[in-house]
Amino acid sequence: MSSLNEQQSNTMSQVTLRHGYWFYFKHEGLDIILHGSAWSGKETVYVDNHPVSIKRNVLRRTGVHHFTRNGDQYELRLYLQSIVTGNLIVSLYKNAELIEEESKAYLRKGDRTVWWRLLGLAVAGLSSAF
C-alpha cells in the first residue's frame, strides 16, 4: 500500500466500536499499520499491507508485537492508559530505540456525549453476557 486514500485515512484517524483503533506509522519507506478490534481484542500488525503479527489481548492493558524487516528488529508496544476513555498509546521501536509514539482515545475529555457512550457500552456489554 503506497498511500492511503481519503476514506481509509478518515477511518484510521477515528476510534469507533465498529472500526476499532487504527495506528499508522511510516518509517524508512515502510508502511506500518496496527489495527485493534474494539470488540474482540484482536490486534493485527501490517507491514506494507501484509500481516506480520496477530494476537488477542482482552484482559491486559499492555501488549507487544515484534517483527523483523531488512535485518532490523521492530517492536510495537501498546499501553491502555485509561480504561474509561479507551486511551491507547502505541510506541514504535526499531532496534530498541523509540521512533514514534501515537495516542488515540474512544472518548475525549470534555466530550458531552461521554456518559451516553459509556451507557451504550454498558448496555452492549450486558446484552452480550446473556
Q: Give me the DSSP letters along 3-71.
A: S--HHHHHHHHS-BTTTBEEEEEEETTEEEEEEE-TTT-EEEEEETTEEEEEEE-SS-SEEEEEEEETT
Please give the model's pTM, rounded to 2 decimal places. 0.71
Q: Residue 1 — very low, low, confident or very high, per pLDDT cuts 50/70/90?
A: very low
What CA dihedral angle connects 60, 27, 74 and 42, to 10 degrees? Answer: 30
What residue segments make up the domains of the chain, in order of their start?
6-125
Fold category of 6-125 in CATH? Lipocalin (2.40.128)
Give per-residue pLDDT as tens, 12-67. Answer: 556 555 678 889 999 999 999 999 887 788 999 999 999 999 999 877 889 999 99
What is the C-alpha separation between 35 and 37, in angstroms, rounded? 7
